[in-house]
């Protein structure tokens, strides 16, 4: 199965059969209708386009409404994402994908937009230790010397410096599915996933 689009609800904890608490992230995943099926011959790749959520009519263009109508939807999805197909499974436009494709114990990867931290210094952004703090250093959190000397008389590319932190597409792999709630379309995955609450994520095996 290709995967699902979901919305991060937040974190909580559940207890396993042995009474050990497991920190989990709760994701509202699907149901995701298939809006387009791409083939190797026609498009050069095997993929499906999934939708999630629903846009308000006044915010939807005619092109988006027409695209959604082909899949039998009354409202255009809020989020559209494409998933590459690797197996031999066949899909149809209008088909609904749900959390039923996952089981407890599965390993998945979750992709989301990490929290934006703004412009940060090297101590927070890269974990620099800073200068000794015993007697108060005038520049205790600055990066220190950055130039390599007369030759080559420039800062080498890739040097860890202050800059924008977070707000990038981030993928966490090998996350364990702890629990699947098919009635409420919820996935409980072990640990944290990228992004803030109510942020959209992509889940795939």
Under 8 Å CB-to-CB from 39, ≥6 apart: which residues?
Answer: 46
Mean pLDDT of 136-164: 88
- DSSP letters, 7-53, are EEEEEEEEE-TTS-EEEEEEEEE--EEEEEEE-HHHHSS-EEEEEES
Residues 5 and 105 in one domain: yes
Residues 192 and 167 in one domain: yes
Q: Would 194 be classed as within a structural domain?
A: yes
Q: Would 140 be classed as within a structural domain?
A: no
Structural domain including 59 reads 32-97
Q: Would 156 be classed as within a structural domain?
A: no
Residue 59: helix, strand or coil by DSSP? Answer: helix
Is the pLDDT score of 99 beyond 90? Answer: yes
pLDDT at 86: 81
7 pLDDT band, cuts 50/70/90, is very high
Split into its structural domains, the chain has a count of 2
Residues 12 and 75 in one domain: no
2 pLDDT band, cuts 50/70/90, is confident
Residues 50 and 120 in one domain: no
41 pLDDT band, cuts 50/70/90, is confident
Is the pLDDT score of 39 beyond 90? Answer: no
Is the pLDDT score of 108 beyond 90? Answer: yes
pLDDT at 30: 81
152-196 residue pLDDT tens: 888 889 999 999 999 999 999 999 999 999 899 999 999 999 999
User: Of 48, 80, 97, at which residue does a domain stop?
Assistant: 97
The CATH number of the domain holding residue 85 is 3.30.160.810
Please state, in angstroms and rounded to a whole number, the distance separating the CA atoms of residues 60 and 71. Answer: 16
* Average pLDDT value for the chain: 91
Is the pLDDT score of 15 beyond 90? Answer: yes
What are the residues facing 78 on neighbouring strands?
none
Mean pLDDT of 100-110: 93
Which stretch of DSSP H or E encloses residue 116? none
């Amino acid at each position: 199965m290709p995967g699902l689009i979901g919305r991060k609800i937040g974190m909580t904890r559940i207890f396993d059969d042995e009474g050990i608490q497991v920190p989990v992230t709760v994701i509202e995943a699907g149901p995701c209708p298939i809006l387009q099926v791409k083939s190797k011959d026609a498009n050069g790749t095997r993929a499906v386009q999934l939708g999630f959520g629903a846009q308000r009519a006044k915010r939807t263009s005619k092109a988006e409404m027409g695209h959604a109508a082909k899949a039998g939807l009354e409202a255009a999805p809020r989020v559209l994402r494409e998933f590459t197909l690797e197996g031999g499974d066949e899909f149809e436009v209008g088909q609904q994908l749900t959390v039923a494709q996952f089981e407890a114990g599965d390993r998945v990867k979750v992709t989301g937009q990490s929290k934006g931290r703004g412009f940060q210094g090297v101590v927070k952004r890269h974990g620099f230790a800073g200068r000794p703090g015993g007697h108060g250093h005038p520049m205790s959190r600055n990066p220190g010397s950055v130039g390599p000397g007369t030759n080559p008389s420039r800062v080498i590319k890739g040097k860890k410096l202050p800059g924008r932190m977070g707000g990038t597409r981030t993928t966490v792999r090998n996350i364990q599915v702890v629990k699947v709630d098919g009635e409420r379309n919820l996935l409980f995955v072990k640990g944290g996933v990228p992004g803030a609450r109510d942020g959209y994520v992509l889940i795939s095996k």
